Structure 1
Amino acid sequence: MANFARTLNFTSANEDGETELAALKLKPADHVLCLTASGARPLDMLLGNPVQVTSIDINPAQNELLRLKIAAYRALDDEALHAYLGIAGSRHRLALHTQVARLLSPASREFWDARRRTVAGGVWHSGRWERVLRLGAAGTRMIRGRSLNLLFDAGTLEEQDRIWCTRFDDAVWHGAVRLLAQRWFWTKIIGEPGGAFLPVPTESQARLTGVFRRAAGSFFFRDSDFAALLFNGRHTREGALPLHVRAENIGTVRARLDRITIAEAGLANLSTAGLGAFDAFSLSDFGSYCGQAAYDACWRGIVSVARPGARYCERVFMNPVMPTAELAAAIALEDALSAALTRTDKAIVYDIRCGHLTPPA
């Protein structure tokens, strides 16, 4: 799995930017640190109007993807942007790429010249996770095609909840979840190193079935861009989309692109990375890839560059690791807001931990 840190693992978006912005409560003078991954997070952060967004990743391929997306925003109009990325259909992506590539550095152009097939197919759905979700969606559509239509067309949350309970929450679903709860499935089949840190299968299974039951009664699946990936295998212009590629937001994002700085760095070495101090941290589910020692090291790095009162938003997928007592005093968890955002987070599978930091003087 060494190539996980060198390849495109995430290329679309599987988190809810509205949750991040609600948790971080950004102000115009804020300097935000976030993890790059697909590039969705830093682009979403621009909609909170901070003065600067520093986006880091230990995987250089993910940073190159963000550079490509930034160039695409600058080079293309809104319709062409969707077509180039792969959200809308197009037979002319390589022609569009000629315009985008002019705005890339020589190193970035070389990176994408070696991946012209990926560009031609649309980078948006080309990542490891996107391929896995597309395969799963094809199987779901084959088994539950009519039920999926009913689920996405539900007129009320009560109706949607009933459809989920009667048509989805069954033996087939529980069997699929049992498979997803196995460490070997993640590490050997998907090639996802975070699988090594899963809890015992029964705990993982209970969590996954529970979060979908919760979501079915909390918001419409048709409004969730993650549900679109999970059940339909792709994003389209007509369906739910992440914040930064919604038609009403593209212009704002485009106007603020100069506020993004990209760096190859990890959370644990922030104290020596020379990136400055931060007022907000959008941390994704970094704990999914950590044992206790590595998790604590990441939090030490975060706290070391946090301004007093800096806000954070962390996502918890399957690994429920918590900071040790040594660190907990500096990491204030706002329980009520975290619980409320967990219920409404349209990425479905995460618990939200948010609050503020009180670094030692």
Structure 2
Amino acid sequence: MHKKLSVAIIYNEPTIQTQTGRKFISELKINSILINHPDTPAKGIDLSEVGILEEKQDIQNALQKLGHACSIFNVADDIQNLIKFIEGTNPDVIFNMVEGIGDCSIHEMHIAGIYELLDVAYTGAGPVCLGLCLNKNKTKEILIANNISTPKFALCTPSELGKEISKLKYPLIVKPAGEDASNGIDNNSIVYNRRSLNKQVKYICRKFKGKAIVEEYINGREINVAVIGNKKPRTLPISEISFAKLPKHLPPIVTYNAKWISGSDEYKGTNGVCPAELPKRLEKEINAIALKAFKIMGCRDYARVDMRLNKNGKPFVLEVNPNPDISDDAGFARSSKAGGYTYEEIVQQILVYASERNKKITTRKKKTRLVGISA
């Protein structure tokens, strides 16, 4: 029998004022209505079909089934009210779902920093891990330094397409250097010549107001490894992203549309298969790589490591994803269920991991007060 906890779900949904929110509205054909904090009159948009809200609802449902007391806070861009909410509700654990503030993903790490300063237990990765994993080139440098294979790459702007790029072999794939959740990945991301490379780098740098990361494209199977735990993390059954039903004119990659736009050809043609059919030797190798990447990047509680296998079956780590989507129908939950866990059991396990890092659930010290820091 598990202990009943006071859990605060803290999240941030896109609003019509942000580029992300407008993109969701346009692509999902959502009618604009007003919404803001859950405790104030609606002043934003209805994003009930957006993934973050589905994930929040799934987690809330699981917490309630588990018997935990649950409170919810939408950060929006109101940091002062966030601090007041945490100090007012005094939760045992925060279920952290914040992925940025406005259009700025880097603030994901800053929100975790606030939890640290308030000395409250929270789920998932800490500030340093969140910041590093969002920075694709730094992640790759750390992986390489630890003898983990990752595609060769170069960090660049349109004016810097020089010597480093010339060392790479086509085809290449172009991504934003500081985004996650497949932001910036589309059907033009794979490039086969200098002309299309120049065009895509310009597009990414202009759209995301930062550098692009260009890496050698690994044309092979795409593998996701869900990892749970802290001191002794373990892998769940490996998933494979199948592109078998994807129209032949579309590239076999997980684009933004494939991940988020349910009516698109990319979404309908991209399917998760778990457990993946792999030779035992290769399965063991992939799991070992995932655990090593999880540890060296400083992940906690739960994460997902994305890989591709080249034509010889060699694994290359593409990304390390702390705090991945754990909606009931997402890849992480799929791996969990294949491993024999119910959705509620995985949510409970994540709470336990977070609680173990902060033993003050029943004897908590007085927390640092941050209210009024901008007054």
Q: State whether TM-score is above 0.5.
A: no
What is the TM-score when the length of structure 1 is the normalising length? 0.28
Bigger helix share: 1
